[in-house]
A and B are shown apart, each in its own frame.
Chain A
């Protein structure tokens, strides 16, 4: 696991639900066929109402029309990110589009578990509403060893809440890797 993630910020509001992250009509694509998987990148965050997409200005799509990947790798959001359905397609779509980490005030439980146990994106929490100060397109640097986020564009550093209990699963890269390391499941290697 890299300890520093650097990339551009994509800023969202509160209560971003899984229908906004990946609208239900796109759930029909295969999660394993490489050609179909690309569609999850194409439609990631496509359900966010346009005036809420890419704050503070809005009207900035996460993935440009005709593209399959996003130029933004760190998502900044308010409270209750990922509420709604249990669909793992949601963190998966964010990963396929190129997101590496999310920094939100809080998460819905199922989404949070999915991010961690599936090893898709790393969900950090922050006590401050960072989506009020960070602007879409700002260059950010996330230091996972020290739990800090630096806004290189605005030259400000913020403290993040440590990952706590789940840091071992995040470091292992998901629940299966963690379980194998800790002898919680029989090794499946031939």
Chain B
């Protein structure tokens, strides 16, 4: 059996989604107050969970590659379009800070019973339609600053992947310590009791 299986079927999608949704809910990422507390610096769960997951999956993919389980460049790597990725990333950060979710966590919010997640999703549909309506005038910006196809940080810097992995672990550890310090000073991470308390 050769990996990846490149299985794009219904069962594969449901399985991946079930794991994704269950874990995000457990992390507390169906709660917009917990999610946005990251940007108020009082709860660093978004940074901690995300960086840990990136590192675990990145090390796993690296091990799968060096052990020969998967061949080199067997998985999809997104390509940089600098201006569109930078502007789009900033808009998602801004919309997350105001609206309380990103696309994935809005589905988790909906599955946790949050009516505001439903309204956020309606807003996303409107935002997507606005983008489509203005796609032709936006197209030059959308394509600007295109990098080499599927370029990785290690390829750009000309270093082996493990060097980037070590640097990521060091950055995550530093960010984790910094975040925990902020959490202690600012009242600690958002708890389930705070999230579920009745409104005034």
Chains A and B bind each other:
no
